[in-house]
Structure 1
Amino acid sequence: MSGAGAESTSGNHLRQLRAIRIPGDGRCLFRSVVHGAYLRSGKPSPSESLQKELADELRSEVADEFIRRRTDTEWFLEGEFDKYVTQIRKPHVWGGEPELLMCSHVLRMPITVYMSTNASDGLKIIAEYGQEYGKENPIRVLYHGYGHYDALQIPFGKTKSKW
């Protein structure tokens, strides 16, 4: 199987995904991505305290990435750029699509976002980021549609990332 296109058409693959509950503390997007990066690299799931620490570190790196890519990102952020970046640095401010895009650049890994459906497989891909870093074995997160993200895991998955 190659790439996310194959994933979206493979019901068996989607049924294998298992949600990993992430605390809803304003860091859930960053926690989910960090958790997914750990799983992708073959490491065991990080403890909740390590997950929080790494999520805050990733958040800071994402804010820095916005600044590095200001010319490319300023136009799609809501409000004034400097205020947006200042806000996103705060640990309890929610992240969304712009932050997922920057996470993919910071980690140099693809990220696939899923959402639950009423279909038999239960999940559909709603967004993909960082495809330029490859399409195999992306970090997988589940968006619940009300501002919360959980990590997704494929049981027994083999990984090749170094993060």
Structure 2
Amino acid sequence: MDLGSGISGDGRCLFRSVVHGTCLRAGKHPPSESLEKELADELRDKVADEFIKRRKETEWFIEGDFDAYVMQMRQPHIWGGEPELLMSSHVLQVPITVYMRDKKFDSLKIIAEYGEEYGSENPVRVLYHGYGHYDALQSPSVTTPQTKSYMRRWK
């Protein structure tokens, strides 16, 4: 497993990593920097819509005012975290696994998994660096019907 793809740290890194990982999962070449940015912003917007759609089940774990949070999350420079990873799994209908480097054992460890209801095989894999930055990890190639519709834009 590759230890990271060098995702830009522009406030979109979580969304870029998920987009990048979704592409790799589907057996496609990673998108160009500009297309990755565009797709990350598109995913961010769909994630914000998903929060609204799932308000009853998500409002309790959002700190502060829910509507203000969702409005702020639509801004491209705002960092995403666990709630956005969960909503990304729902938007893309794929499992997402988050890894972190275990320096003691010089290996990667799973710190979170989202979207288990979409299966457990070939998840989108992202690496969390522990200081607010995410990278994409290499993953095997498997395309699902849900990722095919999202991937059409990447051709």
Task: Verify same fold: TM over 0.5.
Answer: yes
What amino acid is aligned across from residue 69 of structure 1 in structure 2? R
Q: Secondary structure at the match of 1:153?
A: coil
Query: TM-score, normalization: structure 1?
Result: 0.86
Q: Secondary structure at the match of 1:90?
A: coil
Map of 2:143 onto structure 1: 160
Aligned 8 A contact 2:24 2:141 in 1: no
Quick one: distance in 2 between partners of 1:45 and 1:142?
16
Q: CA deviation at 1:122?
A: 1.4
Query: TM-score, normalization: structure 2?
Result: 0.91
Residue of structure 2 aligned with 1:38, choices 23, 27, 33: 23
The size of the alignment, in residue pairs, is 146
Structure 2, unaligned runs of 5 or more? none
Map of 1:137 onto structure 2: 122
Structure 1, unaligned runs of 5 or more? 1-15
Map of 1:127 onto structure 2: 112
What does the per-residue CA deviation read over 1:5-58, in whole Å, with 9 as the maximum and x for residues that have no partner? xxxxxxxxxxx3431110000000000000000011111111010000000000
Identity %: 70
Q: 1:145 to 1:18 in 2, by over 3 A?
A: closer
Following superposition, which runs of at least 4 residues in structure 1 exceed 3 angstroms of deviation?
none
Map of 2:3 onto structure 1: 18
Quick one: distance in 2 between partners of 1:31 and 1:118?
25
The two structures, once aligned, show a CA RMSD in angstroms of 1.1
What does the per-residue CA deviation read over 1:105-135, in whole Å, with 9 as the maximum and x for residues that have no partner? 0000000000000244511000000000010
